[in-house]
């Protein structure tokens, strides 16, 4: 299933938009080993517990689960190892400033292929409180109810 700009989704983090206010998103490349690439080609990965961390001058994706390749040998990869993200140094420094100053956290939103290379979309987000989540649910329910009322009304006019 190819999306916009020749991208093919591998997996997405469905809880991220529910649990965080997303301020900004950016794309980063991933440093992978061979068996990880093969496992991703099979469409297997999970970003549920993952986050991005800056260590020194480098940025890492921590907690992402890419299962071992089923046809791999003893040189298979560790499923939850930290994977280096490929970003320009200026981008990393700008993100370091935002995370330290404003209390943002870096969450992966989706993992996908673009031009044969694995990419991850990282978001700068601030955690939602419980009342924020309830407010979002109430808005969604209200919108659904309005849509139902409009569809009933338009069906009655036909």
103 with 135, same domain: the answer is: no
In this structure, the answer to whether residues 97 and 133 fall within a common structural domain is no
Residue 74 has phi, psi (to 5 degrees) of -70, -10
Contact 77, 36 (CB under 8 A): yes
**Predicted confidence (pLDDT) per residue in 24-51, tens digit:** 888 988 888 777 788 888 877 888 888 8
Please report which residue ranges of 14-56 form alpha helices under DSSP H.
Answer: 16-19, 34-41
Is 63 exposed, middle or buried (CB count within 10 Å of its CB: 0-12, 13-18, 19+)?
middle
Same-domain check for residues 141 and 73: no
Domain span at residue 143 reads 129-158
Instruction: Please tell me the predicted confidence (pLDDT) of residue 132.
Output: 67
Residue 92's CB: how many other CB atoms inside 10 A?
Answer: 17
Q: Is the pTM higher than 0.85?
A: no
Residues 139, 105 share a domain: no
Within this chain, do residues 58 and 103 fall inside the same structural domain, yes or no? Answer: yes
Give tens-digit pLDDT for 90-126. 988 888 888 887 778 888 988 888 888 888 999 888 8
């Amino acid at each position: 299933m190819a999306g916009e700009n020749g991208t093919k989704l591998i997996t997405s983090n469905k809880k991220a938009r529910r649990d965080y206010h997303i301020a900004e998103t950016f794309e980063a490349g991933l440093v992978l080993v061979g068996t990880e690439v093969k496992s991703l080609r099979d469409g297997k990965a999970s970003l549920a517990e993952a986050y991005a961390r800056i260590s020194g001058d480098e940025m890492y994706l921590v907690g992402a689960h890419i299962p071992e390749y089923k046809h791999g040998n003893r040189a298979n990869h560790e499923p939850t190892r930290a994977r280096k993200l490929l970003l320009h140094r200026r981008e990393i420094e700008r993100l370091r400033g935002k995370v330290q100053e404003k209390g943002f956290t870096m969450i992966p939103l989706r993992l996908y292929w673009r031009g044969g290379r694995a990419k991850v979309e990282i978001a700068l987000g601030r955690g939602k409180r419980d009342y924020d989540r309830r407010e979002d649910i109430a808005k969604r329910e209200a919108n659904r109810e309005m849509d139902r009322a409009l569809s009933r009304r338009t069906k009655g006019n036909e």
